[in-house]
A = this chain, B = another copy of it.
Amino acid sequence: MARNESRRDELADAAIAVLAREGSRGLTHRAVDREADVPTGTASNYFRSRAELLEGLLQRIVERLTPSPEVLAELTALPPGRESFTRHLRDIVRRLLADRDVTLAWFEMRLEAARRPEVATLMQEVLVAGFRGDVAYNTAAGLPGGEREIALFHYAIDGLVLDRLTVSIAPDTDLDQVVADLVAGLLP
């Protein structure tokens, strides 16, 4: 079972790599098998349909973007406030940019959601859960910013990360400074 779980993760990781590199139309069970270097049919055994493949890939994106317990402990050790909020945000930006394939795959999934209602349903759930989680986390930690502000940060960070991972209007700007500017302006 443990072995199956790790094989499943490996295939989901391969799917993420294919999606990031080839876009949604390149993502097939065959392409995942080739990417993972496993016998043809393996991906289909673990994910029986395209919908299951996308769902598995999406769960894996969330897993890979979740901060490690060490990082979380460090972040939550700070007293709640602007400084702590800024560090949280910098950590999110760092994670999104460090795992390029995951973040590009996430953007691909968003565009796929614009095309296919079944993907939209799936993405909506994950996206809104993440957003609600961020708002709840802020409230519980006594951090500033409610739903309205957190939404603005979501927009700005999505745009910033898209800029840095694709073509950039200001590739040399210091990222910590950008985050500081956003916090200075958007946090009440």
Contacts and interface: CB of A to CB of B under 8 A. Distances in A.
Interface of A: 21-26, 104, 107-108, 110-115, 120, 123-124, 127-128, 131, 147-148, 151-152, 154-160, 162-163, 165-170, 173, 178, 181-182, 185-186
Nearest to A160: B155
Contacts of A169: 127-128, 131, 151, 154
5 contacts: A23-B23, A107-B162, A111-B166, A120-B166, A158-B163
B115 A21 contact: yes
A60 to B, nearest CB: 18
B23 A111 contact: yes
Nearest to A112: B23
Number of identical monomers bound together in the oligomeric complex: 2
Nearest to A151: B170
Contacts of A163: 154-155, 158
Contacts of A148: 173, 181
Contact of A159 (B127, B128, B158): B158
Contacts of A24: 23, 25
Contacts of A185: 152, 185-186
Nearest to A150: B169
- A23, A24, A168: most-surrounded residue (chain B CB, <10 A): A23
Contact of A173 (B110, B151, B173, B181): B151
Nearest to A186: B185
